[in-house]
Amino acid sequence: MAEKKMNLTSRVLIGLLLGLITGIIVFKLPSGVIKDTILINGIFQLIGQVFLRGIMMLVVPLVFVSLVNGAASMGDVKKLGRVGVKTVVFYLTTTAIAVVIALVLGFFLKPGIGLDMSAIETVELTINPRVPLIQLLYEMVPKNPVAAMAEGNMLQIIVFAILTGVGLSLLGKKVEFLVKLFTNLNDLIMKLVEIVMLFAPIGVFGLIARTFATVGYSGLLPLIKYILTVYVGLLIHMFFVYGGLLKGFTDLSPKTFYKKFLPAMSVAFSTASSNATVPVSLEIAEKELGISKNIASFTIPLGATINMDGTAIMQGIAVFFIAQVYGYELTIGMILTVILTATLASIGTAGVPGAGTIMLSMVLQSIGLPIEGIGLIIGIDRLVDMGRTVTNITGDAVCTAVIAKQEGELNMKVASS
C-alpha cells in the first residue's frame, strides 16, 4: 500500500512538473496551428478535460452520499450537532486568522505601491449586483433538491444530505436497508475515485501545461509583488497556523501529514477547484491519514464548500493592493469590516475556479473601495487561484484531523505510518 501511495504521489508530481515545463516552452512558441490548435486547444485540452470532468462527475454523488453516511453514522444527533458546531466554528476561526495574516502582510509589504499601471492589461468587469448576506443564508435551503444536484449547488446539497442523514439516524432499525444502501453506494463511488485517479498524472499534466501555455508569465511581472505577497501569506498560514494546529491538537507531524496529502494538493493546484478535490481528499483522509469515515465524510465536503482560508488571504491582500493603487487610506473600522465580510464571504464562495475573485467584489463594496480594481488582478488570477485552492483544501484536512482526534476517531498508527 505504502509503495502504491508513493507511486501515485510521485507520478502526479512528475505530471505537474512536466506540465509546467511544457507549458512554459509552448508559451514561447509562435502562434499557429501547432501551438494553438494541436497543443493548447488539442492535446492539453483533451487530456486535462477528460480528467477534470471525470473527477467532477463524481463530486455531486460523492458529496451527497458521503454526507448522508456521515450524518447517519454519527450515532446520535447530539454528536452530529457537536461535531457540526465544532467544525463550523473551527472553519470560521481559521478563516478569520487567515484574513488577519493577509491584512498584516498587505500593510507591511505594500503590494500596490509602485505599480506600473500601463504595463497591466486591465479587464472590463461585469459583476452581478451584490447578493445580500441574508439571501445567501436562506438560499442554503433548497426548494428542490433535485435541481440543487443538477446545478451542483453545494450548500443546498449539504443541507439536504445532512437532513437525510439525520432522518435515517432517527428512524434507526426501520431503515437498515437504506443505510446499508448508502454505505454501498459510498464504497462504489470511492472505487470510481480510485479509477479516475489513475489518470491523474496525465490529467494534471494537461491542465497545468494548458494554463502555463496560455497565461505564460509575461503578464506576471508588473503584478509580481501582489502575487508573491499572496503566496507568502499562504505559506505562513500553512506552516504556522496549520502546522501549529496539527502539532498542538493531534500530535501528528506536519511533515508526514503534508507528504501524504500531496496528491490532493496537486489536484487542487492544477484544477483550482476545491470541489474537484473532494474525492481525492476524502480518499487520503480515510486511507492514509487514519481519519474515520464518519468524521471525514462530514467535514471534508463541508469544508470544500464553506472553508476558504486561501481565498480569504487573497481577499485581504487584494483589499490593501487595490486601496494602495487607488490611493485610499484604510481605517480600523474598514479593516474590521474586511475581517468580517471576507470570513463570511468564504461560506458563500463556491469551490470552483475564480469564485473567490467574484466574492471579492462583495468585500470591496462593504468598505467602499472601487470594484474595478478587480480588473487589475483578474488577468493573472488563475495563478493565484491555484495556490489559494491548495490552502483551502489543506485547511479542510487539518480541521478534519483535529476534530477526529478530539472525537477519538483518528487512528494514530495509520496517520503516522
The three cell numbers of residue 208 are: 497545468
Q: Which of 211, 392, 394, 400 binds ligand ASP (CB under 6 A)?
A: 392
273 binds ligand ASP (CB under 6 A): yes
Q: Which of 9, 95, 389, 400 binds ligand ASP (CB under 6 A)?
A: 389
Phi first, then psi: give them for residue 410, nearest 5 degrees.
-115, 120
Residue whose C-alpha is closest to residue 394's, from 229, 244, 242 = 242
Residue 361's contacts (CB-CB under 8 Å, 6 or more residues apart) are: 127, 130, 371, 374
Q: How far is the CB of 98 from ligand ASP (least distance, A)?
A: 12
By CB under 6 A, which span of 8-16, 35-43, 195-203, 271-279 interacts with ligand ASP? 271-279
**Residue number closest to ligand ASP, CB atom:** 356
207 binds ligand ASP (CB under 6 A): no
354 binds ligand ASP (CB under 6 A): yes
Q: Which of 246, 289, 352, 401 binds ligand ASP (CB under 6 A)?
A: 352
388 binds ligand ASP (CB under 6 A): yes
Number of residues that bind ligand ASP (CB under 6 A): 16
- CA dihedral (101, 104, 106, 110) in degrees, to 10, reads -150
**Rounded CA separation 48/95 (Å):** 31
Cell 489543506 belongs to 394
Q: How far is the CB of 266 from ligand ASP (least distance, A)?
A: 14
By CB under 6 A, which span of 51-59, 154-162, 292-300, 346-354 interacts with ligand ASP? 346-354
| Cβ–Cβ under 8 Å, residues 379 and 226 | no
Q: How far is the CB of 172 from ligand ASP (least distance, A)?
A: 37
Residue whose C-alpha is closest to residue 297's, from 216, 173, 190, 386 = 190
Query: What does the longest C-alpha to C-alpha distance in the chain come to?
Result: 69
Pick out residues in 306-325 that bind ligand ASP (CB under 6 A): 308, 311
378 binds ligand ASP (CB under 6 A): no
Using DSSP's 3-state secondary structure scheme, residue 291 falls into strand
Instruction: Specify whether the backbone of 114 is left (phi greater than 0), alpha (psi in -120 to 50) or beta.
Output: left
**Rounded CA separation 401/63 (Å):** 19
By CB under 6 A, which span of 67-75, 95-103, 329-337, 350-358 interacts with ligand ASP? 350-358
Q: How far is the CB of 317 from ligand ASP (least distance, A)?
A: 12
Pick out residues in 64-93 that bind ligand ASP (CB under 6 A): none
Q: How far is the CB of 96 from ligand ASP (least distance, A)?
A: 16
| Cβ–Cβ under 8 Å, residues 307 and 397 | no
355 binds ligand ASP (CB under 6 A): yes
Q: How far is the CB of 276 from ligand ASP (least distance, A)?
A: 8
Q: What single string gives the DSSP state of each residue in 143-183?
A: S-HHHHHHHT-HHHHHHHHHHHHHHHHHHGGGGHHHHHHHH
Q: How far is the CB of 378 from ligand ASP (least distance, A)?
A: 11
By CB under 6 A, name the binding residues for ligand ASP. Answer: 272-274, 308, 311, 349, 351-356, 385, 388-389, 392
